[in-house]
Structure 1
Amino acid sequence: MLIKWMKIVGLALIGCLLVSPVESHAADKSLEKAFEAEEGETAYVEVAVATLWTGPNILREVDQPSASNPVDIWKWKENMTYEQELQLSGDGMLETQALYGNKVTILEKEGDWVKVAVDGQPTPKEELGYSGWMPVSQLTYSKRFAYEADDAFVMVDAPTSHLYHTPSFRHQGMEVSYNTRLPYLGETKHAYRVMLPNGSHAWVKKADAKTFESQEAIPTPTGQALVETGKQFLGLHYLWAGMSGFGFDCSGFTFTMYQSHGITIPRDSSVQATHGEPVAYEDMQPGDLLFFAHDQGKGSVHHVAMYAGDGMMIHSPNSKKDVEIIPVTTEGYYEELSGIRRYIEE
Structure 2
Amino acid sequence: MFGVCNLSIVPLRLTASDTSEMVNQVLFGEHFTILEKHKKWSKIKLFFDGYEGFIDNKQYKEIPEESYQFLSESKQYYAGELIDFITDNKNNLTTIPLGAHLPLFKDKKLQIGERIFTYEGNVCYTKLSKPSIIETAYLFLNTPYLWGGKSPFGIDCSGFTQTVYKLCGHHLLRDAREQATQGEVLSFIEESEPGDLAFFDNDEGHITHVGIIMNDYNIIHAHGKVRIDKLDHSGIYNVDTQLHTHKLRVIKRFI
TM-score in terms of structure 2 length: 0.86
- CA distance in 1 between counterparts of 2:168 and 2:159 reads 14
Provide closer, same or farther for how the CA distance between residues 313 and 185 of structure 1 changes in structure 2, counting only shifts above 3 A: closer
Count of equivalent residues? 243
**Do structure 1's residue 202 and structure 2's residue 202 form an aligned pair?**
no
Question: What is the Cα deviation at residue 111 of structure 1?
Answer: 2.1
Where do 5+ consecutive residues of structure 2 fail to align? 238-242
Partner of 1:160: 83
**Do structure 1's residue 269 and structure 2's residue 229 form an aligned pair?**
no
1:303-342 matches, within 5 Å, as: 303-317=209-223, 321-329=224-232, 330=237, 331-333=243-245, 336-342=247-253
Partner of 1:141: 62
Partner of 1:193: 109
Q: Are the aligned partners of 2:198 and 2:248 in contact in 1 as well (CA < 8 Å)? A: yes
Q: Describe the superposition over 1:138-195 as per-residue Cα deviations: whole angstroms up to 9, x where unpaired.
A: 11134596476343554211122111246xxx956111121222234543xxxx1222
Provide closer, same or farther for how the CA distance between residues 184 and 110 of structure 1 changes in structure 2, counting only shifts above 3 A: closer
Counterpart residue identity of residue 200, structure 2: F
- CA distance in 1 between counterparts of 2:47 and 2:67 reads 15
Q: Describe the superposition over 1:184-219 as per-residue Cα deviations: whole angstroms up to 9, x where unpaired.
A: 4543xxxx1222x2321121124x324x4xxxxx22
- CA distance in 2 between counterparts of 1:172 and 1:223 reads 38
Counterpart residue identity of residue 193, structure 1: K
- CA distance in 2 between counterparts of 1:157 and 1:163 reads 13
Partner of 1:117: 45
1:240-259 matches, within 5 Å, as: 240-259=147-166
- CA distance in 2 between counterparts of 1:268 and 1:152 reads 24
Return the index of the structure with the highest Cα Rg. Answer: 1
Q: Are the aligned partners of 2:136 and 2:167 in contact in 1 as well (CA < 8 Å)? A: no
Counterpart residue identity of residue 158, structure 1: E
Counterpart residue identity of residue 161, structure 1: D
Greater share of residues in strand:
2
**Do structure 1's residue 54 and structure 2's residue 14 form an aligned pair?**
yes
Partner of 1:294: 202
Across the aligned residues of Structure 1 and Structure 2, the Cα RMSD in angstroms comes to 2.3
What secondary structure does 1:227 align onto? Answer: helix
Question: What is the Cα deviation at residue 246 of structure 1?
Answer: 2.5
Question: What is the Cα deviation at residue 106 of structure 1?
Answer: 1.2
Q: Are the aligned partners of 1:224 and 1:308 in contact in 2 as well (CA < 8 Å)? A: no
Provide closer, same or farther for how the CA distance between residues 56 and 250 of structure 1 changes in structure 2, counting only shifts above 3 A: same
The correspondence for 1:237, drawn from 120, 144, 147, is 144
Q: Are the aligned partners of 2:88 and 2:115 in contact in 1 as well (CA < 8 Å)? A: no
What secondary structure does 2:119 align onto? Answer: strand
Partner of 1:80: none
Provide closer, same or farther for how the CA distance between residues 271 and 285 of structure 1 changes in structure 2, counting only shifts above 3 A: same
Partner of 2:240: none
Q: Are the aligned partners of 1:95 and 1:131 in contact in 2 as well (CA < 8 Å)? A: no
Q: Describe the superposition over 1:296-333 as per-residue Cα deviations: whole angstroms up to 9, x where unpaired.
A: xx71111100001111111111xxx2211111141323
Provide closer, same or farther for how the CA distance between residues 152 and 293 of structure 1 changes in structure 2, counting only shifts above 3 A: closer
Q: Are the aligned partners of 2:29 and 2:103 in contact in 1 as well (CA < 8 Å)? A: no
Provide closer, same or farther for how the CA distance between residues 109 and 308 of structure 1 changes in structure 2, counting only shifts above 3 A: same
Question: What is the Cα deviation at residue 52 of structure 1?
Answer: 0.8
Provide closer, same or farther for how the CA distance between residues 323 and 156 of structure 1 changes in structure 2, counting only shifts above 3 A: same
Greater share of residues in helix:
1
Provide closer, same or farther for how the CA distance between residues 185 and 97 of structure 1 changes in structure 2, counting only shifts above 3 A: closer
Question: What is the Cα deviation at residue 109 of structure 1?
Answer: 2.6
Counterpart residue identity of residue 45, structure 2: A
Question: What is the Cα deviation at residue 110 of structure 1?
Answer: 3.0
**Do structure 1's residue 174 and structure 2's residue 174 form an aligned pair?**
no
TM-score in terms of structure 1 length: 0.65
- CA distance in 2 between counterparts of 1:180 and 1:305 reads 22
**Do structure 1's residue 101 and structure 2's residue 13 form an aligned pair?**
no
Q: Are the aligned partners of 1:114 and 1:133 in contact in 2 as well (CA < 8 Å)? A: yes
Question: What is the Cα deviation at residue 95 of structure 1?
Answer: 1.9
Where do 5+ consecutive residues of structure 1 fail to align? 1-40, 60-91, 122-128, 213-217
State the 4+ residue runs in structure 1 displaced beyond 6 angstroms. Answer: none
